[in-house]
Structure 1
Amino acid sequence: MAAALSQLDDETVRGMAIGAVFTDYAGKINCLDFHRKEDLLVTSSDDDSIRLYNITSATLLKTTYHRKHGADRICFTHHPSSILCSSRYNLESAESLRYLSLYDNRCLRYFKGHKDRIVSLCMSPVNDSFMSGSLDHSVRIWDLRVNACQGILRLRGRPSVAYDQQGLVFAVAMEGGAIKLFDSRSYDKGPFDTFLVGGDTAEVSDIKFSNDGKSMLLTTTNNHIYVLDAYGGDKRCGFSLEPSPNVINEAAFTPDGQYVISGETTFLMDIPIHDTVNVVIPCVDLVTIACWNSHIGPITALKWAPRRAMFATASTALTFWIPNQPNSS
């Protein structure tokens, strides 16, 4: 179903259409993640389910239920059948983060320490380190092989965390539009750079690096989207979405870093290209080049597949979007 990713262009992305829809969820989908190297996608939902899909055949491979803890934030580890999942219930027990095997439905390890809901979770692309950001105003750094937390960053506000694609740098967004960059090998020395998203003091709900490491994508709790230069912190472009009640929008880069997808209805926006050498780039609007409506409800999560001409959106259903295949005569 999902074709290998070739060079994206406006015609290809405008022609994206629904390829498959899975409507058997009994609650909204909280989070979804693609495996970096395998054609797999995992989702977590308010119905306490975790579901694993093959994206090339558009098939559901496995469903597990987690009634005791629920399923909130979720991401793959490097192994295709192992995931990290944060809890929705029993947070006072400190069992707020779990390392799960989908192969035999076992909990391999609990990571204890957070005292409130985890709102950001990401795996290092190069080793067994991962990070979690919680409403308890902390970011914790972990290792899959060890129960104990490896490091704690105390901060103000709602934290959002992300590794760059080489795993050398991670970013932490916090209250007041501050973005702090850390060397992942020596984060205990403090940030090596700090950016301020000037003019917008809303909390950052999500942060992502582009694959080439040159750009960062910020989504705020008041539905603003910014693309920043990852080296200097300058705003390259920005966009505002219509707010949806009780929904925090997510945005994502395409693998080539040239487009951003986001939305309630899903927008795909072209990033203006500038010469970034020794110039100050004025913030300009992202240019909307496509808009789709799945008519299923507000989008609660979305991502573009790392190696495929495909993206997935989530609401109370999961939708796979692929290039429209013209009818052959």
Structure 2
Amino acid sequence: MTALSELNDDIVRSMSVGAVFSDFGGKVNSLDFHRTADLLVTSSDDDSVRFYDTTSAKLVKTTYHKKHGADRICFTHHPSSVVCSSKHNLDNSGEFLRYLSMYDNRCLRYFKGHKERVVSLSMSPVNDSFMSGSLDHSVRIWDLRVNACQGILHLRGRPTVAYDQQGLVFAVAMEGGAIKLFDSRSYDKGPFDTFLVGGDTAEVCDIKFSNDGRSMLLTTTNNNVYLLDAYNGEKKGGFSMDSSQNATIEATFTPDGQYVCSGSGDGNIHVWNINNEPTKVACLDSYIGVPTCLKWAPRRVMFAAASSVLTFWIPNDAKPGLESGGLNSEV
């Protein structure tokens, strides 16, 4: 298997679909890789949560959540537990967030407090804390071990949240293109820095930090992608993707921080080398329409892209399997 340390322009250009999963009953609205286990989880509009083994490209388990639905999703540190946001019966129960065990299909805890749908989730990489951003214009900080909210930030507009890869800092994007950085140990003291993405007042729908903590990636609701210096907020690159009705896109760093990949309304996946000046190195046909979910695996030369279909992408020379065959069969 190709090692991450070997990633280069030629390998990125060779990335192609190695597995297809097309049995969803609706659009995939969120996906997440586990940080240390070779697992992927998806949530979709058919109210399903699905686990995949990324080494063998096999669907491991499917659970349905008809009462609450499945909206945003992220792994906890345990490989069979996730945090999932709800989209049904919110006014009745207030159960906007659930801590789920996929091992025995149990809800371990409900988290109540938000008044509107949760649109952003981020799990701390170092402890049991996680954050949620909601259309009620608040960010809440939680602990998996406790039902009660541990902290709350009131903001303007739709908030989007992300921890950095060391868990020391978190970013909150808000109305008007403002990005506020907080020390995760003393967030109650307010932000220690604020960046403004000049010229674009669209809401930010996704934030990611690079593994080295040097860069941030912002994706906006009007399908613009911005590469920022995480230390001073300087804009290092901006990419305007084609728009698509009722679809937002997602962008992702490669684990080595050398490349940025983004979906687009034109149905392609665009890739830039960002070592110095961002340079377009690939334009890959997604084969699935507009890929609204896109993430690179943290420890593999592999990424996942999804619309109403989920695809695993690997270097062309890695076929027919990542480690053991079966990657080309449609499920």
TM-score class, shorter-chain normalisation, is: over 0.9
Q: State the identity %.
A: 74
Unaligned runs of 5+ in 2: 321-331
Whether 1:273 and 2:276 are equivalent positions in the alignment is yes
1:171: how far off? 0.4
Within 5 Å, which residues of 2 pair with 1:1-329?
Answer: 4-92=3-91, 93-264=93-264, 265-273=268-276, 286-325=278-317
Count residues in correspondence.
Answer: 316
1:277 alignment partner in structure 2: none
Q: Which amino acid aligns with 1:166?
A: Q
Change (3 A) 1:68 1:268: same
Aligned partner of residue 148 in structure 2, secondary structure? strand
Match of 1:278 in 2: none
SS of residue matched to 2:12: helix
Distance of 1:269 and 1:94 partners within structure 2: 42
CA–CA distance in 1 between the matches of 2:48 and 2:108?
18
CA distance in 2, matches of 1:124, 1:326: 32
Question: Contact 2:303/2:312 (CA < 8 Å) preserved in 1?
Answer: yes
CA distance in 1 between counterparts of 2:309 and 2:263 reads: 15
Q: CA RMSD in A?
A: 1.4
Kept in 1, the 8 Å contact 2:5–2:256? The answer is no
Alpha-carbon distance, 1:233 to partner:
0.4
How far did residue 294 of structure 1 move?
2.9
Kept after mapping to 2: 8 A contact 1:33/1:43 = yes
The 1:94/1:327 distance shift into structure 2, 3 A limit, reads closer
Alignment-mate amino acid for residue 55 of structure 1: T
TM-score, length-normalised on structure 1?
0.94
State the secondary structure of the residue aligned to 1:211: coil
- C-alpha contact (below 8 Å) 2:4/2:256 kept by paired residues: no
Secondary structure in 2 aligned to 1:325?
Answer: helix
Which string of whole-angstrom CA distances, capped at 9 and with x for unpartnered residues, describes residues 10-44 of structure 1?
Answer: 00000001100001111010000000000000000
Q: Secondary structure at the match of 2:141?
A: strand
Q: Which residue of 1 aligns with 2:326?
A: none
Q: Deviations over 1:182-217 (max 9, x none)?
A: 000000000000111111111111111000000000
SS in 2 for 1:288: strand
Please name the residue that 2:323 is paired with.
none
Q: Structure 1 residue 91: deviation in Å?
A: 1.5
- Tell me the amino acid that sits aligned with residue 68 of structure 2: H
| Equivalent residues of 2:288, 2:306 under 8 A apart | no
